[in-house]
Amino acid sequence: MPVTEARYGGKCSGRGSLTKVLEGDWQPHRLVIIQFPDMDSLMAWYDSPEYARLKAIREKCATARIVALERIADVTL
């Protein structure tokens, strides 16, 4: 996947398999965070023919929840 996401300005910001849910009922077994310059770049990658091939493989092998977050802002509390 890194080669396909890089073509659209994406980069992996984090991935791991050890998660601890503090609230709620979501129990992820693995979490991957991919950062794109903007939502248009993300959607161009997600809808791309390069990712379509990988997506088809993923859909046969795994159940996923995918969430897009438009931007992460610095917040001072």
| Mean of all residue pLDDT scores within the chain | 88
Residues 6+ apart with CB under 8 A from 6: none
Confidence of residue 7 (pLDDT cuts 50, 70, 90): very high
Sequence spans of domains, the chain:
2-61
DSSP 25-68: S---S-EEEEE-SSHHHHHHHHTSHHHHHHHHHHHHH-------
Closest CA to 5 of 46, 61, 52, 62: 46
Q: Which top CATH class is 2-61?
A: alpha beta
Per-residue confidence (pLDDT) for residue 14, from 0 to 100: 86
Q: Give this prediction's pTM.
A: 0.78
User: Is the pLDDT reported for residue 1 higher than 60?
Assistant: no
State residue 43's pLDDT score.
96
Q: Cβ distance 31 to 15 under 8 Å?
A: yes
Indicate the SS3 state at residue 16: strand
Whole-number pLDDT of residue 19? 86
**pLDDT score recorded for residue 15:** 85
